[in-house]
């Protein structure tokens, strides 16, 4: 199997310092196992600090030639670990620091979506300790502006519930995003090498696709590929790819989309480092296109390897 990096040491980065640490460890282990079974030189690196020199030392001590990033949330998806890897001249999977930051910052990404004509729900921003004035039309969605895995997300249907949801979100971060609630069906689309993969419908047994539902067996069904008219299926793929491109993402991502009752798509967010657990949706989206899990992991790594070779030539 001549793929170009047989002699390189591959560091799979997992764990991290965010509240998504345990999920990240699972993603990293599954990526590690997929690469290891191909006989590659792989080491699993548990990132336990956000301190730059500590992380640099860990990466250098492992002799990493290329990094597979399986870190979720803060110091994983926000461009900081990517910046360190660039300073060390270590190629890595996924988007560059700027695109990673923009995808993580829901306020920044939604502003770009609106500017670039990517359909997304109207929104307002509240800051901790400041008045929060917005048109009080319920229901609304309250969420931290800089977190993943639906942590701190609430669907609010009254003023009293809004106060509680806002405080829950503020317990995670100092800014809160308030979005118009779009009632409809939820879908997700994987992006790989600037191509939209299969559309997957997410069908929670009750409520919505929150953190507990995402990572607990038996609480949600996935329909892959989604059962939709072909024009709508392709429209969801098109807006997902447009969102990926609008933020400047590269190699891969996963885009979450809502379809309202009128059949119109609205982009929720772009995940620049999607999960790679048994519950994760990028592998399921890829499977719709005939791409097995280990093939997906190898492709993600190969894109990073080719990115480095292209940069060296330039």
Q: Catalytic pick from 14, 76, 148, 275?
A: 275
Active site residue 215: yes
Closest to 82 measured CA to CA, from 70, 72, 95, 73: 95
What are phi and psi for residue 25, nearest 5 degrees? -60, -35
HEC-encoded secondary structure of 66-95: EEEECCCCCCCCCCHHHHHHHHCCCCECCC
Alpha helices, DSSP H, located in the chain: 21-36, 52-61, 80-87, 97-104, 106-116, 159-170, 211-214, 230-246, 281-287, 293-313
Choosing from 92, 145, 215, 233, the catalytic residue is 215
Q: Are 31 and 11 in contact (CB under 8 A)?
A: no
Torsion of CA 283, 287, 290, 293, to 10 degrees: 40
From the CB of residue 115, how many other CB atoms can be counted at a distance below 10 Å?
Answer: 9
Residue whose pair of structure tokens reads 């995670």 in the numeric block: 172
Please pick, among 77, 179, 201, 269, the residue that the annotation labels catalytic.
269
CA atoms within 13 A on the CB side of 167: 5
- Measured at the CA of 183, the angle between CA 148 and CA 209, to 5 degrees, comes to 35
Q: Which residues contact 106 (CB under 8 A, 6 or more apart)?
A: 143, 145, 146, 177, 269
Among residues 95, 100, 109, 149, the one annotated as catalytic is: 149
Residue 260 annotated in active site: no
Question: Is residue 250 among the annotated active site residues?
Answer: no
Q: Which of 15, 20, 186, 250 is catalytic?
A: 20
149 catalytic per annotation: yes
Question: Among 254, 280, 285, 305, which one carries the catalytic annotation?
Answer: 254
74 counts as catalytic: no
Tokens 């956000």 appear where? 50
From the list 256, 280, 285, 305, the catalytic residue is 256
16 tagged catalytic: no
- Options 109, 240, 271, 272, the catalytic residue: 271
Q: How far apart are CA 193 and CA 122, in angstroms?
A: 30
Catalytic (active-site) positions:
20, 149, 215, 254, 256, 269, 271, 275
């Amino acid at each position: 199997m001549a793929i170009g990096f047989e002699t390189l040491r591959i560091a799979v980065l997992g764990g991290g310092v965010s509240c998504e640490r345990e999920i990240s460890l699972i993603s990293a282990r599954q990526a590690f196992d997929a690469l290891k079974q191909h006989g590659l030189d792989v080491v699993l690196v548990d990132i336990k600090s956000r301190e730059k020199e500590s992380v640099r030392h860990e990466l250098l001590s492992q002799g990493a030639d290329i990094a597979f990033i399986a870190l979720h949330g803060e110091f994983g998806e926000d461009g900081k670990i990517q910046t360190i890897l660039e300073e060390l001249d270590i190629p890595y999977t996924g988007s560059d620091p700027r695109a990673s930051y923009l995808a993580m910052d829901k306020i920044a990404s939604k502003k770009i979506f609106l500017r670039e004509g990517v359909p997304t729900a109207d929104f307002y921003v509240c800051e901790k300790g400041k008045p929060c004035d917005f048109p009080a039309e319920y229901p609304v969605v309250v969420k931290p502006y800089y977190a993943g895995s639906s942590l701190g997300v609430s669907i609010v249907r009254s003023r009293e519930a809004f106060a509680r949801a806002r405080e829950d979100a503020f317990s995670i971060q100092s800014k809160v995003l308030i979005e118009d609630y779009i009632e409809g069906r939820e879908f997700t689309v994987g992006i790989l090498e600037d191509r939209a993969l299969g559309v997957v419908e997410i069908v929670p047994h009750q409520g919505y696709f929150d953190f507990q539902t995402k990572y607990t067996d038996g609480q949600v069904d996935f329909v892959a590929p989604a059962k939709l008219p072909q024009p709508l299926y392709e429209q969801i793929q098109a807006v997902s790819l447009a969102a990926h491109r609008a933020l400047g993402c590269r190699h891969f991502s996963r885009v979450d989309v809502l379809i309202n009752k009128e059949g119109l798509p609205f982009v929720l967010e772009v995940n620049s480092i999607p999960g790679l657990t048994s519950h994760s949706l990028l592998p399921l989206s890829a499977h719709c296109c005939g791409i097995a899990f280990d093939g997906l992991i190898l492709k993600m790594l190969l894109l990073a390897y080719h990115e480095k070779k292209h940069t060296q030539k330039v």
